[in-house]
A and B are shown apart, each in its own frame.
Chain A
Amino acid sequence: MLDHVPHFEIALGDAGYPALLAELEQPPQRLYGIGAPESLQPGLAVVGARRATPYGRTAARILAGWAAASGYVIVSGGALGCDQAAHQAALDRGGTTVAVMGCGADVCYPRRSVALFERIAANGAIISEQPWGTEPLPWMFRLRNRIIAGLCPVLLVLEAGLPSGTFGTAEYALQAGRTVAAVPGSIFAPECRGSNRLIATGAPPVTDTSELRLLLELEGVAAQADAPAASAIVEGEDAVERALLVNPMRPDDVAREFEMDIVTVARALGVLEATGRIRRYPDGRYGPG
């Protein structure tokens, strides 16, 4: 799998070994990776349940998408549900993302997500502490969770049951002295019991992108130098998105407000809608989804 992408190995103590990861009690002795080793920078870890609800996936899309577009590396576990939604959002916004695998980095698991892994490898890295070709076994995933927690100063929990692997990741992060934030969920949803418990015990709740930005800035996480240009299919789409999230508007009004040509506006709205960042209302206005 992924033979055409460069493979790399970094041992503990090597120059390229992530400094934060080395601080763990039991840092991995050797990291096996596919893709770009320089993407292993302190970023935002985003984790959530495999059996994610639409709520969790939407939160992943909006929050991870924003962070990726702002230049933060998104680290997650490559699993189905929230993890993949976070990777996907980062990629769709042209950002960098790192998947930490439980099995060998070259073993695509789950197998049906090969296409996503290809994209991750091309726009970031897939790493693992397990040697090449290691098939997945349940205990490996718990170990993998400590690497996710270890790589980033901030961990964002989207949806977590109780008990769950995601909740376990949060515990690792707290042990390592990292900031754990959580997205508040429904009090009735078992998928949110863990994330709500985290908030009850002092984790800052994240309800929008500005809170997330504040959190990241407080922790001093640096955004990668250049915000990705790949996502900007049409100029001005980010400005349009920000305005629409606050105040839904019709295309004509957007054009007037921003003094933009209607064709540019129509295209920006189309791109934003295509990627699910905004939604078209029945009356023709565009706004948050």
Chain B
Amino acid sequence: MAHASVRTATIMGVDAVPVDVEIDVGPGLPSFAIVGLGDAAVQEARERVRSAVRASGFDVPNSRIVVNLAPAPLRKHGTGFDLPIAVGLLVATKQIAPHLADEVLAVGELSLDGRVRGVAGELAFAVSAAREGLKLLSPPLTGGAGAIEGLDVRPVKTLGQLKHGLPSASAWVTMTPEVEAGVDFGEVVGQELAVRALTVAAAGGHSMLMVGPPGSGKTMLARRLPTILPSLSATERLETALVHSVAGVDAAPALGGVRPFRAPHHSASIAGLIGGGSPPRPGEASLAHNGVLFLDEMPEFGPAALQCLRQPLEDGAVTVVRAEGRVTYPARFALIGSANPCPCGFLGDPVKPCSCPPSVVERYRARIGGPLMDRIDMVVEVQRPDPALLLEPSGSRCSEALREAVIEAQDRAVSRDGAVAAALSGRKLVEACAMNQQAQRVLETSARMHSLSGRGVTRLLRVARTLADLDGDDGVAAGHIAESLGYRVTGRT
């Protein structure tokens, strides 16, 4: 009779929940059973462990082997259990030193030849290990995670290494941010208003919709938005990297401080957009956490999928409820959408006539849906630039200067209100605006003139507050209200 117990964890949401792997090697007909609600991948661990153990020069005893994953009622998934099961088996059969399994959180997938592979969510495991005060026994981490305090990682490349005891601690590599090279607002011809609007959206965290015919440069403009966003702060880096890691997306850029820019295709399902599936995985909305979610051709997205974005836009998080439980993923992002003015795309085009009947245009616009439009602070029309402009020398605009302005404005907003303007509402927003008399008059006149609703006024004020921050002004002036009016959502109030 031989027992061993090894600590590991399983991913729930963006968290790694501790799991104990208990191994019992005892008399009976030779068998290898894994109990404790493991999914198919966990069951397959038997074959991988058996081969890897043999290939690494250890023996698999001809006994009855039972593996229990505790707590038993918790569903467990993934291939990360391979390493802890193998370690437990080796400790139980005294093939490696028993202290190896003490104070260790082991996670990793085994290949048949005994090599250890990484699994999705390595950062979540690292955070969990640091929290529990355990050493992390896992394959070398691909991303630098110096931000995780108190983490002691012991990289293991092959199972055979364990013959010589626990590997020594490894140092973290610090990551440097890398932004898509060769992309800059300096290359954008014309589109002054759209660039201005994107700068404002970046500074205030505002959601924005760009409307314009095909080929007017909506996608091209959106791709350049990350170049003017400030780097992620230390906490944001970890938050975002965790989601990426759990989703199996390269977390290195987020750890390096690059704000995520996610542009899902319009065929995305609800689960793909906001998360879900079995086991639940974070969706694009969460992958865009602390960054930008760009929905190209927004009306082409499934209406149900679009409406699901309301929760994250409101709460900054997505809660996915499934039979096996509920998981919450962070999802605080700036929504940038693009849309054609009508299905054919040429409504209002100075040259090409639109071929859509008015009822079709109306239906097309309604696809985004009122409640979602209510959460969009700004709308800007994008037009195809005059071909003659393409030949003119480009202006002096560049992403670097815009980015500095954005950072300055954000710092001002955060030090005053504790948040960017897009997060303010009600009394707090009005107080933050500190409007002078002229500004109040312009606001009243415009609200009357365009019969703005309370929500409409709120959005107007949010954008105006950001405009004032970009100007470095303490109070919102009439000019800010006026400019903000140009970005308002028309058609709805």
Which A residues are within 8 Å of any B CB, using their own CB? 92, 233-234, 250-252, 255, 262-263, 266-271, 273-276, 280-285
Contacts and interface: CB of A to CB of B under 8 A. Distances in A.
Interface of B: 190-193, 196, 211-212, 341, 347-349, 381, 383, 385, 438, 442, 445-446, 449-450, 478-486, 490
Contacts of A270: 446, 479, 481-486
Contacts of B479: 233-234, 267, 270-271
Q: Which of A255, A268, A274, A276: most chain B CB closer than 10 A?
A: A274
Contact of B349 (A234, A280, A283): A283
16 contacts: A233-B478, A234-B479, A234-B482, A251-B486, A252-B192, A263-B196, A266-B482, A267-B482, A267-B483, A268-B482, A270-B486, A274-B445, A274-B481, A274-B482, A284-B383, A285-B348
Q: Is the interface of A mostly helix, strand, loop or mixed?
A: helix
B191 A275 contact: no
Contacts of B347: 282-283
Contacts of B349: 283
Nearest to B392: A256
A283 B341 contact: yes
A251 B487 CA distance: 12
A274 B341 CA distance: 24
B454 to A, nearest CB: 18
Q: Is the interface of B mostly helix, strand, loop or mixed?
A: helix
Nearest to A280: B490
Nearest to B482: A270
Nearest to B480: A267
Contacts of A252: 190-193, 383, 385
A271 B490 contact: no
Given A252-B193, A266-B193, A276 B449 contact: yes
Nearest to B447: A274
Given A234-B482, A267-B479, A280-B486, A274 B446 contact: yes
Contacts of A275: 445, 449
Contacts of A255: 192-193
A232 to B, nearest CB: 11
Contacts of A271: 442, 478-479, 482
Contacts of A233: 438, 442, 478-479, 482
Q: Which of B193, B442, B446: most chain A CB closer than 10 A?
A: B193
A250 B212 CA distance: 12
Contact of A262 (B192, B381, B449, B481): B192
Contacts of A285: 348
Given A252-B191, A271-B482, A283-B348, A262 B383 contact: no
B283 to A, nearest CB: 32
Contacts of B449: 273-276
A113 B309 CA distance: 45
A90 to B, nearest CB: 14
Contacts of B485: 270, 273-274
